[in-house]
A and B are shown apart, each in its own frame.
Chain A
Amino acid sequence: DVVMTQTPPSLSVAIGQSVSISCKSSQSLVYSDGKTYLHWLLQSPGRSPKRLIYQVSNLGSGVPDRFSGTGSQKDFTLKISRVEAEDLGVYYCAQTTHFPLTFGSGTKLEIK
């Protein structure tokens, strides 16, 4: 199985600061079609997960452009510029390249 290692496990940031979350996979996430199926999700407290970024760097529908994703092969980063109060929750990376699909262990973002 592809292991997704997310760091840090938690973050505490002030409103307006920028943060980055790392996600490293144990195998390349490039599929045979040349695309990389690495996604970022946010689970706000008491809610279902919401997809923020798909295929490394594509912004999901309605997601503010304060969120951005970069990376390739096995090393990926989610950046949140100008954190807002509504950004609190747990962030997960997820890969849909290989079966079984797997998730990172999550990064909990708290607002100072």
Chain B
Amino acid sequence: EVQLQQSGAELGKPGTSVKLSCKVSGYNIRNTYMHWVNQRPGKGLEWIGRIDPANGNTIYAEKFKSKATLTADTSSNTAYMQLSQLKSDDTAIYFCAMWAFAYWGQGTLVTVSS
């Protein structure tokens, strides 16, 4: 059974960074793309970007190019997303997903507050 287990909730101060993780079990992430999606409070889904864990190649939505950095560690079958220069409107739930959205993590709530 494929499962995506995301790291716990984060509270970050404005201007700082946080790094989220998404550990996959039941499937080798080398064989898929890992996507990250956010959902601001009460809002819809927004694609951030994807990484090919086999070679580290990334594609980002334009608005996240200077905000998010996607990495992956194939030895631990884990994908990561670092969010930098946090602002209040980065407060959201962040999901990892794979296989064209067939599988999703449970989401990580990031709250940005001083």
A binding-site residues for B, Cβ under 8 Å: 37, 39, 41, 43, 48-51, 54, 60-61, 90, 92, 94, 96, 99-106
B binding-site residues for A, Cβ under 8 Å: 35, 44-47, 50, 59-62, 95, 97, 100-102, 104-107
Does B101 lie within 8 Å of A100, measured CB to CB?
Answer: no
Does A105 lie within 8 Å of B35, measured CB to CB?
Answer: no
In the complex, number of A-B residue pairs with CB atoms less than 8 Å apart: 50
Q: Which residues of A contact B106 (CB under 8 A)?
A: 48
Known: A49-B45, A92-B44, A99-B59. A37 touches B102 (CB 8 A): no
State how many angstroms separate the Cβ of A108 from the closest Cβ of chain B: 11
Within the complex, which residue of B61, B101, B104, B107 is in contact with A39, where a contact is CB–CB below 8 Å? B101
Per the bound structure, the CA–CA distance linking A92 and B101 in Å amounts to: 12
Query: Which chain B residue lies CB-closest to A103?
Result: B45
Does B35 lie within 8 Å of A50, measured CB to CB?
Answer: no
Q: Which residues of B contact A49 (CB under 8 A)?
A: 45, 95, 97, 101, 104
- Sample (17) of A-B pairs whose CB atoms are under 8 Å apart: A37-B100, A41-B45, A41-B101, A43-B45, A48-B107, A49-B95, A49-B97, A51-B101, A54-B102, A60-B102, A90-B44, A92-B45, A102-B47, A103-B45, A103-B46, A103-B47, A106-B45
